[in-house]
């Protein structure tokens, strides 16, 4: 049950602060409230939302015609969501920033500025974020008149060598550049350290080196094509992003998904959660030299994903979620195979989890390492296992319950230590909780259809998808244009709200502990690099 009592109180606060709210234009966007405000009050509204205790979630722009942008920001308060919208004239695309009130808005606002040319007049950081050297000055890739193939005519992009990183001065301070090309198969990302001896004084990230053009190439796709594209925003979160995109499209089209399909979607996303947590537990242990756990949890993840491939047709569960339902059903033999794999994993974890939780050599490296305090986590609006390890007790499956979770008992672990050990414990606990959820889902799997025929919505229809992926809150906005084609697609991976935490929790740690701190956060390069 979504509660909107807080919204009327917030509106009253807005009036007190002279924020001009057009009450008559407020409409309901699925289970999320949509509110129009004047663009001059963009920053003032953030001040009111901050005073009220809202969490900032996302910002995105949408060019609705040749001379007008809609700028949208999403706020969360105790499980309720509010999308605030302001119209911005293309001839003077300037408005206040929300970053002074919500640090999480820093990089997303810079992304909007780089991609659309919308200027945030009092933004505390004027450096480019997404542009790098790929586009000419004055050219904005997400505007309507910019071609998807770019404007460089096949010319090789110059290296981004002059980004003005923050500098720490002082006797004995030195700098360590790491990346963007790494020794493993991970995607590109640059880390710039300033250190004194072995102690890290400052870390700054530079991301977005690939820029896949996801938002641009989504334009003009049909619903099925968008679902396939969404599943490739971030390969380890294929189900979460595809479900969020389908949820947004289904809300825009007022499409009711069959109960059996919703149960299967939940099974898929919980299997995705378990697979990634297994991999992360092993990788964290490997970064401190505990090879036994790395081998064991890697083996469990591989076995788990092989079952994915056998039952659902893809190890990473791609293209299983489609508009209106799911692409695959389960027969009796497949149900038995899933239940057997759950029982097998549960039995293995009964033996392995105590080793990981209480092994002295692990405790020596993980306890007290990479501490993100609850206060800093709250300031940054951190989500998912990183937030839960630092006292952020929020899980959309429980607090913004969507079908079928609204009928399930969802447990969500939370700790306050905020160190690497706590982030590891969240993962181990979530695996157990997900196994219990999957058992509930399979035991109560409804009969019936697994998908309904897709009916394209009218031009202008829009929807917002929100769900709990394995990294945390996944958000997706979709607006349709003519003939049922997508006019705007914006996926926000939880990594946008997790990467800034890494820069804070590394302070005061030694340089050799960076790998394990980074792996304990494990934000996605690809999910950030749209």
Q: Is the pLDDT of residue 25 over 90?
A: no
pLDDT at 139: 86
How far apart are alpha carbons 170 and 182 in whole angstroms? 29
Residue pair 160/132 in contact (Cβ under 8 Å)? The answer is yes
In the chain, which segments carry CATH 3.30.460.80? 5-120
The per-residue pLDDT for 429 is 96
* Residue 433, phi-psi category: left (phi > 0), alpha (psi -120 to 50), beta (remainder): alpha
Look at residue 57 and tell me whether its pLDDT is greater than 80.
yes
Q: What is the pLDDT of residue 1?
A: 34
Mean pLDDT over 321-330 rounds to: 97
DSSP codes, 452-474:
----PPPTT-EEEEEEE-SSSEE
Q: What is the pLDDT of residue 470?
A: 97
For CATH 3.30.390, the residue range(s) in the chain are 166-208+495-530
Confidence of residue 80 (pLDDT cuts 50, 70, 90): confident
Q: Phi and psi for 320 in degrees, rounded to 5?
A: -85, -30
Q: What percent of the chain has pLDDT over 70?
A: 94
Q: What is the pLDDT of residues 382-428, one digit of tens each?
A: 999 999 999 999 999 999 989 999 999 999 999 999 999 999 999 99
pLDDT value of residue 131: 77
Number of Cα atoms under 13 Å in the Cβ half of residue 41: 19
Instruction: Identify the residue with better confidence: 120 or 210.
Output: 120
- Give residue 3's pLDDT band: very low, low, confident or very high (50, 70, 90): low
CATH architecture of 5-120: 2-Layer Sandwich (3.30)
pLDDT of residue 149: 77
Please state which CATH number belongs to domain 166-208+495-530.
Answer: 3.30.390
Mean pLDDT, the chain, whole residue set: 91
User: pLDDT tens digit string along 451-472?
Assistant: 999 999 999 999 999 999 999 9
* Euclidean distance between CA atoms 213 and 154, whole angstroms: 16
Question: What's the mean pLDDT in 138-158?
Answer: 80
pLDDT at 21: 40
Q: What is the pLDDT of residue 13?
A: 64
SS3 of residue 388 by DSSP: helix
d(CA 347, CA 341): 10
How many helices (H) does the chain have, and how many strands (E)? 17, 15
Sheet of 32-36: strand order equals: 27-29, 32-36, 80-89, 68-77, 55-65
Q: Cβ distance 529 to 207 under 8 Å?
A: yes
Question: How many Cα atoms within 13 Å fall on the side-chain side of residue 209?
Answer: 20
* pLDDT of 4: 53
CA 201 – CA 208 distance, rounded (Å): 24
Residue 147 has pLDDT above 90, yes or no: no
pLDDT of residue 6: 64
Q: What is the mean pLDDT of residues 428-445?
A: 96
pLDDT per residue as tens digits for the range 493-522: 999 999 999 999 999 999 999 999 999 999
The tokens for 393 are: 């007790």
Q: Which of 156-160, 244-248, 429-433 has the lowest mean pLDDT?
A: 156-160
pLDDT of residue 34: 87
DSSP character at residue 21: B
Q: Looking at residue 14, what is its pLDDT?
A: 61
């Amino acid at each position: 049950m979504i509660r909107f009592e807080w919204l009327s109180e917030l509106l009253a606060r807005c009036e007190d602060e002279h924020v001009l709210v057009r009450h008559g234009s407020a409409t309901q966007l699925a289970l999320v409230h949509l509110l129009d405000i004047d663009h001059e009050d963009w920053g003032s509204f953030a001040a009111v939302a901050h005073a009220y205790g809202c969490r900032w979630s996302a910002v995105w722009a949408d060019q609705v015609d040749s001379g007008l942008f809609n700028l949208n920001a999403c706020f969360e308060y105790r499980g309720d969501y509010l999308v605030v919208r302001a119209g911005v004239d293309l001839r003077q695309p300037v408005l206040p920033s929300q970053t002074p009130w919500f640090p999480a808005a820093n990089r997303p606002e810079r992304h909007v500025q780089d991609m659309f040319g919308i200027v945030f007049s009092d933004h505390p950081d004027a450096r480019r974020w997404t542009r790098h050297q790929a586009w000419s000055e004055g050219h904005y890739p997400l505007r309507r008149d910019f071609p998807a193939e770019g404007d460089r005519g096949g010319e090789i992009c110059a290296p981004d060598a002059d980004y003005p990183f923050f500098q720490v001065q002082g006797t004995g301070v030195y700098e360590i550049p790491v990346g963007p090309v790494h020794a493993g198969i991970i995607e590109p990302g640059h880390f710039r350290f300033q250190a004194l001896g072995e102690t890290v004084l400052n870390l700054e990230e530079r991301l977005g080196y690939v820029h896949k053009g996801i938002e641009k190439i989504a334009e003009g796709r049909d619903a099925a094509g968008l679902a396939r594209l969404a599943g490739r925003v971030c390969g380890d979160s294929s189900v979460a992003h595809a479900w969020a995109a389908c949820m947004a499209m289904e809300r825009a089209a007022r499409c009711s998904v069959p109960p059996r399909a919703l149960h299967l979607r939940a099974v898929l996303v919980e299997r995705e959660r378990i697979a990634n947590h297994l991999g992360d537990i092993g990788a964290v242990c490997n970064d401190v030299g505990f090879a036994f756990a790395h081998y064991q949890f890697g083996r469990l993840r591989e076995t788990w994903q092989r079952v994915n491939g056998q039952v659902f047709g893809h190890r990473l569960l791609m293209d299983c979620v489609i508009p209106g339902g799911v692409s695959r059903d389960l027969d009796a033999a497949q149900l038995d195979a899933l239940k057997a794999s759950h029982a097998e994993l549960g039995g293995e974890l009964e033996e392995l989890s105590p080793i990981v939780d209480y092994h002295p050599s692990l405790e020596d490296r993980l306890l007290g390492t990479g501490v993100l305090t609850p206060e800093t986590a709250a300031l940054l609006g951190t989500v998912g296992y990183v937030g839960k390890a630092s006292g952020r007790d929020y899980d959309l499956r429980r607090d913004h319950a969507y079908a079928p979770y609204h009928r399930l008992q969802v447990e969500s672990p939370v700790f306050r230590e905020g160190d690497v050990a706590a982030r590891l414990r969240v993962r181990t606990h979530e695996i157990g909780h997900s196994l219990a959820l999957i058992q509930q889902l399979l035991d109560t799997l409804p009969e019936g259809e697994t998908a309904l025929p897709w009916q394209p919505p009218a031009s202008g229809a829009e929807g917002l998808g929100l769900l709990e992926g394995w990294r945390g809150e996944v958000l997706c906005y979709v607006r349709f244009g003519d003939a049922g084609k997508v006019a705007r697609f914006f996926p926000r991976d939880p990594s946008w709200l997790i990467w800034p935490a890494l820069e804070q929790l590394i302070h005061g740690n030694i340089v050799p502990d960076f790998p394990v701190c980074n792996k304990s956060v494990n934000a996605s390069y690809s999910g950030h690099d749209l």
